[in-house]
Structure 1
């Protein structure tokens, strides 16, 4: 025996062994497959679901088809509940006790009843559905999927027919190929002399073109027996080669916009006759409304104001026109304007602006509804001039009165002290508040007497008064000459002069007169 024969025998033995091993492996695998029984093998074509709590583990082909036709949101369990709940009331509560009871069987009502059986097997829930005409393990065809689709179509049709607004589909030529009940009712009202709608359906809004985007359009619809047209906001969406259009009622919106427009026109006409400059800014602080007086007071061009500038832009233009107080620096001015906006929004801004040209403005900021702010400009230059002149006259008159030796006090009709001079302050020690305080001071610094009660009555009772005089004596022994004089408007003047001063002020008799008298 040669080495060649030995190698041939060894090779043949190895090949046979490999073939035997392969055969055993294949046969063993086949036996293992035949011996292992899956929990899903008895699904077949039945509508069967296998859940671990609410998580779908597996499902038959028909069950997956049923889930596929459902339009309900959520996971498989939510979509299955959306289909089962109308047919099997209380299913979810009964399913929660499946682990305890082991099996539940339910039947639905209606013309086409269904049967549901749920079992607890190996820690999983097995739910089986049977449609009419099939046994529990093998329902006939995909009847459940068709039934789900028919029920959803019927629900959608009923929903659209009960919608309180028109809805329709139109083809690329604009022809209406489907419409809901609200559309058909409006179309019937437009047909005079016939109760039958033609086909294709008449368009309610023929001016609306096809090729819709997300843009909303407003259109009116005139009806034969309506005094005013009806308004709708049209919203369309492309769907395939057609458009789906919804007409939402807009009568209330149109009426509100018309009323608002009329109200704004009335306000504009009213504000046009005001001497106060008015600027109203919306919540974005853009100029929403102004009157002609604002143009006159600010010197800003109407074209600029018509562009709806922001509050800062308008105030900046006024700064350039020197129509606001001259700021020390731009940064400080910006801070002041920000403070103005905040104060105006809270209703706390009221300032007097002294302009470089000599004019004086009163500027008031007031909040308005919805975050708006109003600025009011008043030219008070004449008023300020008159006030300054009156103040200067008052100061001059007071200075003149202070040069008198007579102590004078002027009281208002209510008894309040209006004026005292320097001689009064020296004699009685300060300016009292009213006649009561003054009378108390007089009584404390002079001898008692009826003159002080009479003085109080003279000031308080201003009817039918006449000038009169009297005398009083101070605690230091000086004799006072007192005069009481009514003033216009119910005011009163009371003066005190020492008698020695009175005698000194009287003219001395001539020497010849003395001799003649002697």
Structure 2
């Protein structure tokens, strides 16, 4: 019994010990598995992610390339051969890379380190001339060697889409965009700039790129804001407005087409020059004031007419300053007092600003000026000063002569009336008014008035036919019965311009006879003569 119990106890102790040892070994094995480094991916999977960028060229013709290399070439927007597209990408990053690759001897290699890059990356270019014109070019990033960089696929896709959109926008813009370093060397340019370089270089594209615009050219409008520069290509001159943006040691340059603005400014300048020459030859004084009533433009005639000093006008005085100066020079109408003068000038300014306003100034020196105020766009106002002294003198002379002519006509005993070809009355004299007691406006009104006051007969019909006939009438003279029953002789004369003058003349009294004795009867001969005259 005792031995059996002892055996059972020892067996139990031994089993527990073995269980503990096994548990410890399992735990240690599990910890070792968890702490062990991850196993490397298969060779084919690693190669697909970290495949190098290698190009094989034979006489500048691409014969083979790795997948990343082909991807780089496919994203280069410049047309042409694969070699040219690669040089476009390499040129800004490796100085004189194309020249050194072209002159590389056989079975030799070179290694170049990039001068710039994004962030802290500095690319490395390795080239080897294998022979038979075959050139092997490798591009690597030293900061990424021997490391596996895992990128989120969604983030990578989003960045590539945004990059593609930005590249498309930069390549499709009509503006010239480029980047240059502190020494003025161009390190990057968009497709528009590259195409312009190819047009000027007959299709060649060498790095570093030549500058297309020169802002230091004094003829290019460097004083303008923004500065302008011109570019000549095949005899055609194009203008650009240039903007700069500094990014560290480099400068981004943006040149926007400005041909339309330059043409508009040139047309405006030529138009202003034409107006200036025209104003200079005008005998009328011109003064244009802006919306603040400061003088902006005047012509030489203003100096001659007003006597204002040239220095005073070139200082751009205000309208009221100029009017006060004219008052000092006694070149304005003499006012009763200063208050009335100021009110008169305020009225002139307000009337000119709201619409055309004309005043006649009788100057103390005997001259007569016509002052015209006219509104201009944007609240400006223009004043025209015209010397009408000679015109007023001739007008007075003409009026005096016309009055004298009227007096002469009124002194003629014959009744006169002149009608134009349309039958409108031009003039008549006092004898006509006294005879007919009327002053008609038209020939038809005169005929109607005559017909009401006299006995019509063949003589009146002949007069009417002569005055209303389109051509030459058969008769231009005759006799009618006057408004007082007396005989009137009439005649029609043609004047220059188709005007016609009608004349009424009273003959010697047909009733007068030699004196006879009172007891002798009066002979009725005159009655017969009167009726004979009316029948003419």
Moved more, 429-438 or 481-490: 481-490
Structure 2 residue aligned with 1:244, among 245, 252, 271?
252
Distance 2:488 2:396 in 1: 37
Distance 2:312 2:469 in 1: 62
Distance 2:460 2:389 in 1: 46
CA shift for structure 1 position 456: 3.5
**Contact persistence 1:167–1:246 (CA under 8 A):** yes
**Contact persistence 1:471–1:480 (CA under 8 A):** yes
**Contact persistence 2:215–2:228 (CA under 8 A):** no
Residue in 2 aligned with 1:47?
Answer: none
Return 5+ residue gaps in structure 1 as ranges: 1-139, 510-518
Deviations 1:308-352 (A, max 9, x none): 5565555555454444444532133122212112214xxxx3444
Larger Rg: 2
**Contact persistence 2:352–2:381 (CA under 8 A):** no
Residue in 1 aligned with 2:228?
Answer: 218
Residue in 1 aligned with 2:489?
Answer: 482
Distance 1:352 1:161 in 2: 67
**Contact persistence 1:406–1:495 (CA under 8 A):** yes
Rate the CA distance shift 1:462–1:488 in 2: closer, same or farther, 3 A. Answer: farther
**Contact persistence 1:469–1:483 (CA under 8 A):** yes
Residue in 2 aligned with 1:174?
Answer: 184
The answer to whether structure 1 residue 356 and structure 2 residue 368 are counterparts is no
Partner SS, residue 329 of structure 1? helix
CA shift for structure 1 position 235: 1.5
Structure 1 residue aligned with 2:346, among 334, 338, 345?
334
Return 5+ residue gaps in structure 2 as ranges: 1-149, 516-536
Distance 1:464 1:373 in 2: 58
The answer to whether structure 1 residue 386 and structure 2 residue 398 are counterparts is no
Rate the CA distance shift 1:368–1:213 in 2: closer, same or farther, 3 A. Answer: closer
Moved more, 385-394 or 307-316: 307-316
Distance 1:472 1:153 in 2: 112
Rate the CA distance shift 1:242–1:501 in 2: closer, same or farther, 3 A. Answer: farther
The answer to whether structure 1 residue 195 and structure 2 residue 204 are counterparts is yes
Distance 2:231 2:351 in 1: 51
5 Å-filtered alignment, 1:266-305, equals 266-279=274-287, 289-305=297-313
**Contact persistence 2:358–2:373 (CA under 8 A):** yes
CA shift for structure 1 position 246: 1.0
CA shift for structure 1 position 248: 0.8
Structure 2 residue aligned with 1:444, among 432, 452, 462?
452
CA shift for structure 1 position 400: 4.0
Moved more, 351-360 or 370-379: 370-379
Distance 1:295 1:264 in 2: 20
TM-score w.r.t. length of structure 2: 0.56
Structure 2 residue aligned with 1:422, among 430, 433, 436?
430
